[in-house]
Amino acid sequence: MQIRELKIPDSYEITPKQFGDDRGVFLEWYRFDKLADVVGHPIDLRQANTSVSKKGVVRGIHFADVPRGQAKYVTATHGAVLDYVIDIRVGSATFGQWDTVLLDDVDRRAIYLAEGLGHAFVALSDDATVSYLVTDTFNADREHGIDPLDPEIGLVFPDEAGEPLLSAKDTDAPSLSEAADAGLLPTWSDMRAFYDSLDGASALEKGV
Catalytic (active site) residue 119 = no
Q: Name the residue among 147, 82, 95, 87 with its Cα closest to residue 116.
A: 87
Catalytic (active site) residue 73 = no
Distance CA 83, CA 157 (A): 10
Choose the catalytic residue: 12, 30, 41, 62: 62
Rg (CA), the chain: 17
Active-site residue list: 62, 132
